[in-house]
Structure 1
Amino acid sequence: MIALLRLLSEQPQQWRHGYDLMKQAGLLSGTLYPLLMRMGDQGLVEAQWQAPTQPGRPPRHAYRLTGAGLALAREITDGAPDPSAAVPA
Structure 2
Amino acid sequence: MASTPRLTKPTIAVLEALIASSTASPAWGLSICRDADLGPGTVYPILDRLSERGWVKSWDETSPHPGRPARRYYELTGAGRLQAAEALAARQTRRSRLGLGLAGGIS
For normalisation by structure 1, the TM-score amounts to: 0.79
Name the one with the larger strand percent.
1
Aligned to 1:43: 54
Q: Which residue of 2 aligns with 1:10?
A: 20
Residue 55 (structure 1) aligns with: 66
Task: Give me the whole-angstrom Cα distance separating, in 1, the residues matched to 2:69 and 2:63.
Answer: 6
Q: Write the distance in 2 (CA, Å) between the matches of 1:60 and 1:46.
A: 14
Structure ranking higher on relative contact order (CA contacts 8 Å, 6+ apart): 1
Contact 1:22 1:28 in 2 (8 A): yes
Could you say what secondary structure the match of 2:73 adopts? strand
Partners of 2:26 and 2:56 in 1: CA distance: 10
Structure 2, gaps ≥5 residues long: 1-10, 96-101
2:58–2:75 CA contact under 8 A, matched in 1: yes
Partner SS state of residue 78, structure 1: helix
**Contact kept in structure 2, 1:47 and 1:63, CA below 8 Å:** yes
Bigger CA drift: 5-14 or 33-42?
A: 5-14
- Asked if structure 2 preserves the Cα contact closer than 8 Å seen for 1:6 and 1:77, the reply is no
Q: Which amino acid aligns with 2:82?
A: A
Structure 1's unaligned 5+ residue stretches are none
Equivalent residue pairs, number: 86
Bigger radius of gyration, 1 or 2? Answer: 2
- 2:19 is aligned with what amino acid? S
TM superposition shift of 1:72:
1.4
Once superposed, what is the RMSD of the aligned Cα atoms? 2.2
Identity %: 34
